[in-house]
Amino acid sequence: MSAGAARRCLLALLAAAPAAAAAGTEDRYPEFADEHLTAGRVIWVENCMTCHGYGIAGAPDPNKAKAWAYRLEKPRETLYDHALNGFFGPDGTMMPARGGNEDLSDAEVKLAVDYMAAVAQRANDLADEQAQSEAETDAVAESRLDPRP
């Protein structure tokens, strides 16, 4: 492929990605009743979704329960610090300070972190519920196989 064609191809991909993702944005990145999180969502969608919404550069998608389970266990202050000042994770992936937007205030970055943590918490709660209901289904199946009282 010529450099020109490669470039056009890349541009087409970049143009298509937000359109494709926009369709599912409401489901994947819901509004929460809490005003604090509503404000956080606006900042997050504008500044953080570019990476975190698509797994760009290894950014953890808050809808991936596993990617966030251990991060949710970090003190919130640590997550704020990593978002404000940047952070190199154990896999060598890098969170740039303020997501690369120097114009964001500390308060805005923290709101976006809180929003992302709320989505990640929701994903983890759903994963726990699923694991729970699978365990119950297995228990019922086993009790049917085992006729003893």
- Binding residues vs ligand HEC (CB under 6 A): 47-48, 50-52, 56-60, 71, 74, 78-79, 82-83, 87, 89, 91, 93-96, 98-100, 104, 109, 112-113, 116
Q: Which is nearer to ligand HEC, 9 or 107 (CB)?
A: 107
Q: From CA 39, how far away is CA 78, in angstroms rounded?
A: 21
Residue 32: closest CA among 127, 121, 98, 130? 121
Q: Which is nearer to ligand HEC, 93 or 143 (CB)?
A: 93
Q: Which is nearer to ligand HEC, 36 or 74 (CB)?
A: 74
Residue 4: CA atoms inside 13 Å, Cβ hemisphere, count? 0
Q: Which residue is nearest to ligand HEC (CB)?
A: 89
As measured in angstroms, the least distance from the Cβ of 88 to ligand HEC is 6
Q: Which is nearer to ligand HEC, 55 or 136 (CB)?
A: 55
Q: What's 97's DSSP letter?
A: G
As measured in angstroms, the least distance from the Cβ of 145 to ligand HEC is 43
Which of left, alpha, beta for 100 (phi over 0: left; psi -120 to 50: alpha)?
left
As measured in angstroms, the least distance from the Cβ of 90 to ligand HEC is 7
Q: How far is CA 69 from CA 39, 56, 89, 90, 117, in A?
A: 24, 19, 15, 15, 10
